[in-house]
Amino acid sequence: MAASEESKDYVHRLMTSLGTIPGIQPTEMVTNIYPFEIGYNSYNVNTSLAAELAYKPNILVMSIGENTEQYLTTQQARTDFRNRLTSLMTTFKTLDSHPKIFVRSCFWTDRPNADAAMALSAADVGATFVSLGNIATWSNMAGGEGRYLDNLGIATHPGDAGMLAISNILIYGHSTDARARAGILLGAKRIGTRR
C-alpha cells in the first residue's frame, strides 16, 4: 500500500464516507484476493473465501485485475478469467444478504484485457462496473508522495491523493466523467492535472 497510513487507503476512506450517513454504522472485511488473480482457474471460492462468505456483506467492492493482465494473452484466458470472476460474484450474490456488488477498474491504464473482462463479468451478474478512467496519469495520484522511490512496485501504486480519488469515484460511480466523480467531495479543490 502506498497510502501514508491505513486510514487514507480507499477502503477506509469509503467506510468513513458511509459512516456519515445517519443510521449507518459500517463495518468492513478487507481481503487480499491476489491468489485469485494469479490462479483464477484453480481458485476455490467456497474454501478460500469461507470467512468472507460467512460475513455476508451488504456491499462488496471488488478491486481485482491489476495482477491478472499478464495472464490474459489469449481469448481463452480472457474468457476463463471472466467466467471465474462471474462465478465468484454469483457465489456472493446468492447469499441471503444479497450484496450490492461494485467492480472497479484497474488503477493503471495498461490493463485493457482485465478491465474488459471485469466489465463483462459485472454485467453478467448485474454488478456495477466503476471505471477509474485514466486517474493514474493525473499528477500526484501515484508515487506514494515520494516515500517509496526505492521500490518502483510500490511507488507506482496510488498514494493518498490517488486513494481519495478512487474512494470518491466509487461513491459517485454513476457519473460518466471520472474527473468530475473524483472531485465531488473536494469541491473546488483541484486534485490532479494531466501530465
Domains and CATH numbers, the chain: 6-20+30-186 (3.40.50.1110)
Residue 124 CB neighbour total at 10 angstroms: 15
pLDDT tens string 7-20: 888 888 888 888 88
Query: Distance (Å, rounded) from C-alpha 111 to C-alpha 21?
Result: 34
Burial 10-19 (b: 16+ CB within 10 A, else e): bbbbbbeeee
- Global pTM reads 0.82
The pLDDT value recorded for residue 190 is 32
Q: Which residues of the chain have pLDDT under 70?
A: 1, 138-155, 173-195
12: left (phi over 0), alpha (psi -120 to 50) or beta: alpha
pLDDT tens string 48-71: 999 999 999 988 999 888 899 999
Q: How far is CA 131 from CA 12, 92, 189, in A?
A: 19, 21, 22
The pLDDT value recorded for residue 194 is 30
91: left (phi over 0), alpha (psi -120 to 50) or beta: alpha
